[in-house]
């Protein structure tokens, strides 16, 4: 029958600073894995290969080992970000040189958006561009057959649970991945910088279904413990869902440590103890700023005072219940020394409740027709275009006081004030580093590129003792 070769395009250029440690990140393309899982349930044999920061040549060699040259099916090539377009073009060129008649189908929900014609112009070697979500059409795309209504749409709960689960066994080197489990799509909160601002938030995945998926995914081996990331743009739990998760975990005799992301104003502090009891260990909190001016400009809130009060209560309660908080900060249009100081002072006041801080300048993603109006609105606060490292990505000078390069320097400075090497390693190992990446290798990578990281290397001996003590 042959394998269906599914490739997640890697990157020749990077969003973050191009150093060894950032290139260690393994971001799971769970959209592509979802499509492969659908194909598997239709008795096909897909294999999912991630390019990550490997070269297209290296990924092509892996695909060939998995039967690229003999497959009767088209190759599915997912482009997860605009940064991956150049990698995808190189991969297509290499593949077509040895297999000129092989069909290559390209997808990528956020990159294509509503303009498959524009992506086709950027990726001329693609034989077909598929926009949007393709779970309902992927069988036809691959085989030409129209699917009979699957059993999991029959109304049977067991079938439905099976249908939405991701088949991690389809991943090349699946044992190296920390699993990501999608628990809801959409957001709809209309923050100006978010790609899902207009996507309606879906209900959270039912706890029994979630635990069943975890049971079929988690491995118990000699590598770093599997700690799933519950993927959703906005985590909005309620007591019934949290209680259901705890009950489902108890029934399955399963203990896990998990991570998710949330706005500071969508989780009630009184729910935090129950979340901690269900295994929530790390939460990425989208604070974005502690400057009232910037919060209003982002459309993050109409009441910054109340917003920051709720953030304080959430961070304090998480710390009291043993949940580590990573705070995400966004340097936005109009940023200046005063707004940055407001955020720094707030973070300093909450230092004891913060485990790590991630800071990035705002980036405009999308085709010109989608971003021109947005960039025009940012100009009101003094932001101007800096440069475009690739199609679909625009870097900004945030204000007259803060050009693009300055914003990167300030972002690294802010992160280093609140995150040490040990904290960074723990956070990344929980979700993104390969499960065989050791702290010793991490220290070696630091030594090769000192000063290029978004964490502090001060008190490194103390950090080593902290990590080694945790590992013992």
Delineate the domains of the chain, giving CATH numbers in brackets. 3-153 (3.40.50.280), 178-419 (3.20.20.70)
Structure tokens at 272: 């935090």
Sequence-ordered list of residues with C-beta below 8 angstroms from that of 420, at least 6 positions apart, any chain: 455, 456, 457, 458, 459, 463
pLDDT for residue 469: 55
Longest distance between any two alpha carbons in the chain, whole Å: 64
**Least-confidence region, from 150-159, 308-317, 458-467:** 150-159
Q: Write phi, then psi, for 346 (nearest 5 degrees).
A: -65, -45
pLDDT of residue 148: 45
Tell me the pLDDT band of 159, cut-offs 50, 70 and 90. very low
Assigned token pair, 39: 């194909």
pLDDT greater than 70 at residue 466: no
Q: What mean pLDDT is predicted for residues 351-375?
A: 94
Residue 151: per-residue pLDDT:
39
Instruction: Work out the pLDDT band at 184, boundaries 50, 70, 90.
Output: confident
What pLDDT sits at residue 154? 41
Token pair listed for 120: 């086709």
What's residue 266's pLDDT? 87
In sequence order, what DSSP letters do the residues of 39-97 get, joined into one string? HHHTT-EEEEEE-TTS-HHHHHHHHHHTTTTT-SSPEEEE--SGGGHHHHHHHHHHHHH
Please write the tens of the pLDDT for every residue from 398-451.
Answer: 999 899 999 999 999 999 999 999 999 999 999 999 999 999 999 999 988 887
List the one residue out of 202, 206, 212 whose CA is nearest residue 162: 212
Banded pLDDT at 163 (limits 50, 70, 90): low
Mean local confidence (pLDDT), 280-291: 97
Check pLDDT > 90 for residue 201.
no
- Indicate whether 472 pLDDT > 50: no
pLDDT in tens, 101-153: 999 999 998 899 889 999 999 999 999 999 888 888 999 999 988 654 443 34
Sorted by sequence, the CB contacts under 8 Å of residue 341 that are 6+ apart come out as: none
Percent of the chain with pLDDT over 70: 90
The rounded mean pLDDT for the chain is 90
């Amino acid at each position: 029958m042959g394998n269906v070769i599914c490739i997640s395009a890697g990157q020749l250029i990077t969003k973050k600073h191009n150093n060894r440690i950032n290139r260690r990140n393994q971001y799971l393309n769970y959209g592509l894995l979802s499509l492969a899982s659908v194909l598997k349930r239709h008795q096909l044999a897909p294999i999912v290969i991630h390019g990550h920061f490997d070269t297209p040549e290296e990924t092509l060699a892996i695909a060939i080992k998995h039967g690229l040259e003999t497959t009767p099916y088209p190759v599915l090539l997912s482009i997860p970000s605009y940064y991956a377009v150049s990698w995808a073009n190189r991969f297509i060129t290499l593949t077509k040189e040895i297999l000129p008649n092989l069909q290559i189908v390209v997808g990528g929900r956020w990159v294509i958006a509503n303009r498959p014609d524009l992506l086709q112009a950027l990726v001329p070697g693609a034989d077909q561009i598929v926009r949007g979500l393709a779970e309902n059409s992927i069988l036809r795309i691959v085989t030409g057959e129209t699917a009979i209504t699957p059993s999991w749409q029959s109304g049977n709960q067991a079938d439905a649970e099976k249908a939405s689960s991701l088949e991690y066994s389809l991943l090349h080197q699946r044992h190296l991945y920390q699993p990501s489990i999608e628990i809801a799509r959409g957001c709809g909160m209309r923050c100006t910088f978010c790609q899902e601002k207009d996507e309606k938030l879906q209900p959270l995945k039912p706890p029994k279904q979630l635990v069943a998926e975890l049971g079929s995914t988690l491995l118990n081996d000699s590598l770093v413990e599997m700690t799933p990331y519950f993927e959703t743009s906005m985590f909005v739990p309620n007591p019934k869902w949290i209680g259901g998760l705890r009950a489902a975990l108890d029934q399955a005799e399963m203990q896990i440590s998990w991570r998710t992301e949330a706005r500071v104003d969508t989780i009630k502090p009184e729910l935090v103890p129950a979340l901690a009891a269900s295994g929530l260990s790390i939460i990425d909190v989208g604070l974005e700023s502690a400057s009232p001016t910037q919060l209003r400009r982002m459309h993050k809130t109409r009441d910054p005072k109340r917003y920051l009060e709720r953030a304080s209560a959430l961070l304090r309660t998480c710390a009291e219940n043993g949940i580590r908080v990573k705070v995400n900060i966004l340097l936005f249009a109009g940023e200046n020394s005063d707004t940055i100081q407001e955020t720094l002072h707030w973070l300093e006041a909450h230092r004891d409740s913060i485990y790590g801080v991630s800071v990035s300048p705002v980036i405009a993603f999308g085709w010109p027709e989608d971003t021109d109006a947005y960039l025009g609105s940012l100009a009101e606060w003094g932001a101007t275009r800096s440069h475009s490292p690739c199609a679909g990505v625009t870097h900004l000078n945030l204000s007259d006081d803060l050009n693009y390069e300055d914003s990167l320097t300030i972002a690294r400075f802010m992160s280093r004030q609140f995150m040490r090497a040990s904290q960074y390693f723990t956070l990344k190992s929980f979700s993104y580093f390969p499960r065989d990446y050791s702290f010793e290798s991490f220290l070696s990578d630091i030594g090769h590129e000192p000063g290029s990281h978004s964490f502090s290397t001060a008190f490194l001996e103390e950090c080593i003792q902290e990590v080694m003590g945790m590992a013992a």
